[in-house]
Amino acid sequence: MSVSANPNPQAPAIEGSPTRLPQHVAFIMDGNGRWATERGLPRTEGHRQGLEALRTAIRHAGDVGVKIVTIYSFSSENWNRPASEVSFLMGLLKRFVQRDLSELHKANVRIRIIGGRSDLEPGILALLEEAEDVTRGNTGLDLVVAFNYGSRSEIVRTAQHLAQQVADGKLRVEEISEDAFSRNLDTGGLPDPDLIIRTSGEMRLSNFLLWQAAYSEFYFCDVNWPDFDEAAFDEALQCFGNRERRYGGLDAKAL
């Protein structure tokens, strides 16, 4: 897929429908714990059901023609959760890669990991890198997995990398542009998200894609992530289709 670091000013229209479809949708999959607690279940059951909802969302994205899905699967701050929950989430990620990788590969999905890698447990890192390697040549949906991801830390890593290049005489200070910075982020080469969806009624970014979200549309809904089904996804897409994106300019009628 040919992609640029710039926002996507004209998302493609959904065929036979008046709405426009986002090319890149990012999910903050929130509310797993509350979903479980409301049912008198352990929080881990919410994560397990959350994985089912994730499978549904990926499948539906492909079906409707979304090109890129980014998921906030584990933030750099999530390590602060109780050790038992962290360990469950690690197990879930392992199972997701081990069980779903061949199916995702068959479905032509290309997996890409964003987030800090240097401090990851070698077993997890190897698994994530295997998922990237196996699917690298695929040309269907891009699935971007934000794992051990924090946006501020990504920005700092990028600044350090560019500073090092300047120190090594490989880059001139004047060459540090918005485009150069975007290219060097973990998401380099991907277009920015058109639509960011957060479930469970919380209305914040929680250190997710701070740079990339400059012109994203936001959609917040009350359903907890395990209940986010095709209909809820369609509602978000419909809402996006009715938004007017101006990128700091004026709408055509005002000119």
Which residues are the active-site residues? 30, 78
Stretch touching ligand FPP by CB under 6 A, among 6-14, 45-53, 151-159, 188-196: 45-53
Smallest distance from ligand FPP to CB 224, Å: 7
Question: Among all residues, whose Cβ is closest to ligand FPP?
Answer: 33
51 in contact with ligand FPP (CB under 6 A)? yes
93 in contact with ligand FPP (CB under 6 A)? yes
Q: What angle do CA 146, 152, 154 make, to 5 degrees?
A: 55
Closest CA to 240 of 214, 253, 221: 221
Quote the CA–CA distance of 133 and 185 in Å, as a whole number. 19
100 in contact with ligand FPP (CB under 6 A)? no
DSSP string, 104-131: HHHTT-EEEEES--TTS-HHHHHHHHHH
Asked if 35 contacts 209 with a C-beta cutoff of 8 angstroms, the reply is no
Q: Which of residues 5-44 bind ligand FPP (CB under 6 A)?
A: 29-34
Tell me the three state secondary structure of residue 103: helix
Q: Which of residues 207-236 bind ligand FPP (CB under 6 A)?
A: 225
Tokens describing residue 140: 């269907």
96 in contact with ligand FPP (CB under 6 A)? yes
Smallest distance from ligand FPP to CB 47, Å: 5
Q: At what angle do helices 43-64 and 83-106 cross, to 10 degrees?
A: 20
73 in contact with ligand FPP (CB under 6 A)? yes
Quote the CA–CA distance of 36 and 146 in Å, as a whole number. 23
Number of residues that bind ligand FPP (CB under 6 A): 19
Q: Which residues bind ligand FPP (CB under 6 A)?
A: 29-34, 47, 50-51, 54, 73-74, 78, 89, 92-93, 96, 200, 225
